[in-house]
Amino acid sequence: MTVLVEDVAETGRKREAPKAKVYVMVQVAEGFSAEVASILRRKPGVVAADVVEGEASVIMVVEAQHRLGLAHLTIQALTAVEKATVGLRLMPTEGY
């Protein structure tokens, strides 16, 4: 579902509302980075999942229309790789 807002300051036309977003640094067991990134990319809401060079980590970006949906999608994605995960760091963007 796309939420539209009035862009009065610019053109008076409707535009897509900004999305809630979180960056997640997922530390994974040695040798599982590529597999974890591949699994995460297939999860709803995940717009990127890339292996960090030189580390056993994956950076994941999740987007949703609102914070509650963002939390749900993030948990759903992380649950899919929890057996290979040894730690994580959540970095949410400022709320809308």
Q: Tell whether 63 is covered by a domain.
A: yes
Q: Tell whether 45 is covered by a domain.
A: yes
Q: Tell whether 80 is covered by a domain.
A: yes
Q: Tell whether 9 is covered by a domain.
A: no
- Amino acid identity at 7: D
Q: Tell whether 10 is covered by a domain.
A: no
- Residue 27 sits in a domain whose CATH number is 3.30.70.920
Binning pLDDT at 50, 70 and 90, where does residue 31 land? very high
Residues spanned by the domain of 35: 18-92
Q: Tell whether 58 is covered by a domain.
A: yes
Higher-pLDDT residue of 92, 38: 38
DSSP state of 12: S
Count how many domains the chain has.
1
- Mean pLDDT of all residues in the chain? 85
pLDDT digits 0-9 by tens, 38-77:
999 999 999 999 999 988 899 999 999 998 999 999 999 9
| pLDDT score of 83 | 94
Q: Which two tokens stand for residue 10?
A: 């610019």
Q: Tell whether 69 is covered by a domain.
A: yes
In 3D space, the residue among 52, 73, 78 whose CA is nearest the CA of residue 62 turns out to be 73
Max Cα distance, the chain (Å)? 52
Q: Tell whether 53 is covered by a domain.
A: yes
What's this model's pTM, rounded to 2 decimal places? 0.78
* Mean pLDDT across 16-30: 88
